[in-house]
């Protein structure tokens, strides 16, 4: 029997979930694109891990954070390429365009699970580069989670109330953009020109791309304007630029920056002299037995 080279994920898994069928869903081409981005994410992750081994273990923080981002994204894109991780939601706006005509559209909740994990890691990459204090860092991550969760709720709502959640998410995004283009950028300047350069480069890329995500949301989950295949391309290109390309620029920018300069001095067992000092046997005139007791000299009878 000859194996077919075609991608049959859409046929095998189908568009029916929980008794509802999505008649506005990806085709084989959309599935192929999702799998292509999955491959790009996977290759990027292994490259970042390989580059990490050129650094001391205590200096691999940014490599590991960035590799985690693309590996999580790879799993999400494999899921979407397999036509899984979605639920059919009744569209608010019915369109006459045959590519988006129908009653139920595939909404990929797995995309938001990906973002819930990866966007805080991306913010960690940026805010740790800027040397921001931990309270600010944690608060920005909480605001980021608000943005992602409200986006997911809005995507799953089938009435005009979805746009209220969209507005909440946009307000959260405005605060994150403020942190990246103003407060954190100024903070990064204090650590030297090279730190400011890498933060400005990666922070500017993130800011521009993240502003485009609400546009993609409004055209796909929100307004049902573009087809799911076009949605795959829109989000896929944004994610590719925001994760593998961002990661490559960040790691390249950090090549000569030691994390200790940014307040990230991490101890390593191999380089910790105090640990080896404790393990080194001590030679003295008095020997202790296995229980730690000093043997007593026997008295003559």
Residues 50-59: pLDDT tens digits? 999 999 998 9
User: Does some domain include residue 297?
Assistant: no
**Mean pLDDT score across all residues of the chain:** 90
14-23, 227-236, 274-283, 289-298 — which is least confidently predicted?
289-298
Q: Is residue 280 part of a domain?
A: no
How many domains, the chain? 1
d(CA 262, CA 192): 10
CA dist 97 and 229 (Å) reads 14
Kindly tell me if the per-residue pLDDT of 209 is higher than 80. yes
Domain with 34 in it: what CATH number? 1.20.1070.10
**Confidence at residue 228, expressed as pLDDT on a 0 to 100 scale:** 97
**pLDDT at residue 294 is higher than 80:** no
Q: How many CB atoms lie within 10 A of CB 189?
A: 15
14, 106 Cβ separation under 8 angstroms: no
Q: Is residue 235 part of a domain?
A: yes
Query: Quick one: pLDDT at residue 297?
Result: 47
In a domain, 166, yes or no: yes
**Spatial CA neighbour of 88 closest among 106, 112, 101, 103:** 106
Q: Is residue 6 included in any domain, yes or no?
A: no
* pTM for the structure as a whole: 0.87
Task: Specify which residues 24 forms β-bridges with.
Answer: 105
pLDDT at 282: 54
> What range does the domain containing 125 cover?
12-262
């Amino acid at each position: 029997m000859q194996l077919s080279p075609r991608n049959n994920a859409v046929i095998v898994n189908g568009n029916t979930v929980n008794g509802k069928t999505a008649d506005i869903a990806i085709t084989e081409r959309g599935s192929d694109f999702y799998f292509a981005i999955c491959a790009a994410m996977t290759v990027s992750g292994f490259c970042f891990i390989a580059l990490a081994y050129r650094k001391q273990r205590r200096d691999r923080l940014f490599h590991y954070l960035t590799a985690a981002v693309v590996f999580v994204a790879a799993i999400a894109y494999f899921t979407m390429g397999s036509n899984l991780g979605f639920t059919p939601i009744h569209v608010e706006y019915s369109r006459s365009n045959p590519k988006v005509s129908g009653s139920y559209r595939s909404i990929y909740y797995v995309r938001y699970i990906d973002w819930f994990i990866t966007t805080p890691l991306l913010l960690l990459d940026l805010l740790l580069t800027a040397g921001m204090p931990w309270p600010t860092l944690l608060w920005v991550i909480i605001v980021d989670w608000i943005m992602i969760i409200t986006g997911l709720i809005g995507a799953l709502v089938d009435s005009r109330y979805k746009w209220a959640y969209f507005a909440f998410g946009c307000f959260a995004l405005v605060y994150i953009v403020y942190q990246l283009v103003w407060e954190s950028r100024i903070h990064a300047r204090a650590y030297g020109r090279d730190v400011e350069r890498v933060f400005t480069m990666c922070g500017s890329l993130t800011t521009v791309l993240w502003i485009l995500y609400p546009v993609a949301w409004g055209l796909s989950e929100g307004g049902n304007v573009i087809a799911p295949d076009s949605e795959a391309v829109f989000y896929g290109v944004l994610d590719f630029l925001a994760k593998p390309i961002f990661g490559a620029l960040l790691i390249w920018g950090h090549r000569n920056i030691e994390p200790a300069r940014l307040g990230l001095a991490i101890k390593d067992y191999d380089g910790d002299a105090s640990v080896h000092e404790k393990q080194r046997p001590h030679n003295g005139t008095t020997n202790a037995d296995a229980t730690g007791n000093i043997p007593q000299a026997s008295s003559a009878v």
